[in-house]
Chains A and B, each alone.
Chain A
Amino acid sequence: MPPRVGLFATCLMNLFRPNVGFAAVKLLETAGCTVEVPLDQTCCGQPAYNSGDFEATRALAKQLIEAFEGFDYVVGPSGSCMATIRKDYPRLFADDPAWRARAEALAAKSFELISFLTDVRGVSSVDASYAGTVSYLDSCSGLRELGIKAQPRLLLGSVDGLALAEMADTEVCCGFGGSFCVKYPEISGRLADDKLARLTETGAGTLLGGDLGCLLHLAGRMKRCGSPVKVFHTAEVLAGLAEGSGIGGAVEGGGQ
């Protein structure tokens, strides 16, 4: 029987880039999963958590646990949202044994999309093509909390026509940081510019990454500075759905 996957539709994907959701569904189905999207899901609670509102985070965590605990797996196209579920949920219920057990059970079957494909489903190549040189942005939560580094590179390596050019300082934050990017815009902007300078050095015409927060931040900065580099979520390229001008580009393509 194919595993039943509940797709976690992250807030930014749902609002800004539905195409990433459809790319995720396509990749998961190709990997032999049945995909459902429970409608009683909202946010994982990360914005509240990082603002020190643990009470609100627990309320949203309980809601998410209830919405997804019937699935074999929970998969989402974001390292940071899935790290919240995998790493932070169990910690949030340290003093509540019943919910802690449920949080741990959910954490154990929750995965970021790309690492789920490779590490759980054993996918090592995709049937997609993308003409051009791309660079891959390591997002910090995925990289450090979930160990996502080799997986996207493995799958991108199988995309026809795609050449990967690595940036220097790939472990350095791009300056997004959730609400950090609007609370400390000057620092955030400096870190974005440092990151984009590393990107420019690669000569890549496309930037890919696994977290829409970082991608919206960098795409927005690049558009402001007049950069022609296109930005896509990794899943869009892997699913063969990276059409049009990318995130922040003119509207004709990219949508579903």
Chain B
Amino acid sequence: MKVSSPQFKAKVVTALADPHLRDALGQSRKGFVNGRGALVADLPEFEQLRDQARDVKNHVLANLDHYLERFEAKVTAAGGQVHWAADAEDARQIILGICRRVGAKTITKGKSMVSEEVGLNEALEAEGYQVIETDLGEYIIQLADEPPSHIIAPAIHKTRAQVAELFEAAHGGPRKTTVGELVTEARLVLRDKYFRADVGITGGNYLVAETGSSVIVTNEGNGDLTQTLARVHIVTSGIERIVPSLEDVSLFQRLLARSGTGQETETYTTFSTGPRRPGDPDGPEEYHVVLVDNGRSKMLGGKFQDMLRCIRCGACMNHCPVYGAVGGHAYGWVYPGPMGSVLTPLFVGLDSTYDLPNACTLNGRCQTVCPVRIPLPELLRELRHAQRQAGLRPAAETRALKAWRFVAERPRLYRAANRLAARALKALDSGSGRLTSLPFGQAWSGLRDLPAPEGRTFLELWQARKRP
């Protein structure tokens, strides 16, 4: 997928001026945040579960090679096949290769952020395959020809009226008005596609090393139909999504839905282990797991390894004030919000993603809701440091910091500079106690007055008081 993160600031201005976006985001996010809050309050051991989940993930990351090999052995033993994709191009070629070999025409897809990450739909469509997204949100944005704006609610930026309009154009009228009618319409349209699909592609919420199973968690059951009814099932997943055992799945399951959608559990949790066995009533003839690295292994052992604990629940963006104001598209790639602001620079490069780690107030709410305790603000600050090391910070900021540091390292000079600033700013004040325009501070004074200093600094007054 094309990276449009360099246009962050322009997209922010557009997003802030969009009343539909404000409505759409406000409604859904409130539901997620309140839902999570109520459920967490009801589960006394929630904080302890977060600790355990962090520890399990850290253990897996420290022994990733072991668990990946174990997983591959189990998948193979169950009659499936594991494919290793070093990067996005590898992943696309592996999947295109499977689709060609089996003579596929129609491909259904469950929601998979990794498939967005590797640009799978564009590659499949370029070779003439009919690709149908079956997750309702993904289906909506496929019709709108837009990327997802949220990792678990891809069409969160759309209002009901906008969806109704899209459906009317795609399915033919009459236009529906209620959510129930819209869902029914999508269900009827999609139902037939599942049966005609040659290949079904899903993501994987967990890969279980103990059993070689892939696990998907959905609210619509679309993933189950995608992976059960197609002739060939392909799972796309990042290499870090592995868990050691089924016990661990139950630990993460207690955290995932509570954190993300604010539900005790999602409606469907489905385990796939290999293709259909003799005597099985249904299931695919072939079962493939494409394990995607695409920058992840480079994060191992470094300052950003903690980010690999992410279970893609969406809690960080649900609670992020910046995401809440500008929505997911402003971030310009697949992963938005706090987790995306860490991942995107690491996956696509620091130079095209300057704004992402900076457009954050470091308020830290994301970290307090992260089910695997990723220190997101710290990682964003580390990325700012990395930008600095790479010479990517703006020259004006670097110069200003250098001058400020020179003064701040000299207490006597610093006190003098502050006395001077207090007097200079006071002199600009005509008696109202505030400055309405600042010669070099339009970024402040464009939307706020500046409370004026009183003319003397605290340290100055303190010294004067001590020597009466």
The residues of A with any CB-CB pair to B shorter than 8 Å are 9, 11, 13-18, 20-22, 37, 39-43, 45, 47-54, 56, 59-60, 63, 67, 91, 140-141, 144-145, 171-173, 175-178, 180-192, 194, 216-217, 219-221, 223-224, 245, 247-251, 254-256
Contacts and interface: CB of A to CB of B under 8 A. Distances in A.
Interface in B373-391: 378, 381-388
B264 interface: no
B463 A190 contact: no
A191 B381 CA distance: 21
Give the 4 A-B residue pairs with the shortest CB-CB distance, closest first: A177-B361, A52-B384, A220-B448, A248-B451
Contacts of A11: 418
Contacts of A181: 444
B447 interface: yes
Contact of B458 (A18, A182, A194): A18
A39 B464 CA distance: 13
A187 B448 contact: no
Given A144-B363, A187-B322, 18 more contacts: A14-B459, A41-B411, A48-B405, A52-B393, A140-B365, A141-B362, A141-B363, A144-B364, A144-B368, A177-B361, A182-B441, A182-B444, A191-B361, A217-B448, A219-B451, A220-B444, A224-B449, A256-B461
A213 to B, nearest CB: 10
A52 to B, nearest CB: 3
Contacts of B450: 216, 220, 248
Contacts of A63: 409, 411
A177 B451 contact: no
Contact of A184 (B12, B386, B415, B433): B12
B307 interface: no
Contacts of A182: 441, 443-444
Instruction: Tell me if A's interface is mostly helix, strand, loop or mixed.
Output: helix
Contact of A216 (B446, B451, B457): B451
B431 interface: yes
Nearest to A16: B453
Contacts of A191: 321-322, 325, 361
Contacts, number: 202
A37 B447 contact: no
Nearest to A253: B433
Contacts of B434: 220, 223, 248-249
A147 B111 CA distance: 38
Contacts of B449: 219-221, 223-224, 248
Contacts of A49: 381
Given A9-B458, A15-B421, A220-B434, A185 B443 contact: yes
